Amino acid sequence: MNRLVVGLLRFILFPLLRWTTRIGGERSWRVWELATKALAGPIGRLARWIRPSAEPTITGIMQLVDQTDGLAGIIGEWELVEPTQAVKRITQCPLADALQDIPAFCTRLGVAMGEGAFCAYAPHTPFTYIIPRTLSQGNSCCEYVLTISAANDSVE
């Protein structure tokens, strides 16, 4: 599965993304963000359907991220910084080299994917999700920073 997903991204999505954002600039990025959020929603709804009785927690959202990252062969470790905040450091990504000329893919579309999936998984849980560092930008790792509201801070 990993090779199929990586191949689809490298040879179909990334060239299309490069072309459309060169032509349309910021407007194209906004369209990609909206489309990514919409496509990620079913992932969150499926995760919620699988575990309907579980209260959405930071741990549940972390597991959702791990499952989707695993499809693309992305490897990293979570650190629970505090009960309401976790940071995932990605050390291996088979897509990082292909994204060097479009590093906003992760910081914009990775965030949009998380937002779409998390909103569907935990619609009443306020959160923030950012990706401040990426391998494709030349950093030693990618960092995903997830923060949820204190009302949903229990760790499963």
3-state SS class at 45: helix
Residue 128: other Cβ atoms inside 10 A: 14
Q: What is the DSSP letter of 23?
A: H
pLDDT of residue 102: 92
pLDDT of residue 152: 47
Give the whole-angstrom CA distance, residue 143 versus residue 28. Answer: 25
Q: Which CATH class is domain 2-152?
A: alpha beta
pTM greater than the 0.95 cutoff: no
**Are 86 and 58 in contact, with CB atoms under 8 Å apart?**
yes
Q: Residue 153 pLDDT more than 60? A: no
% pLDDT > 90, the chain:
74
Give the whole-angstrom CA distance, residue 120 versus residue 124. Answer: 9
Give the whole-angstrom CA distance, residue 14 versus residue 1. Answer: 18
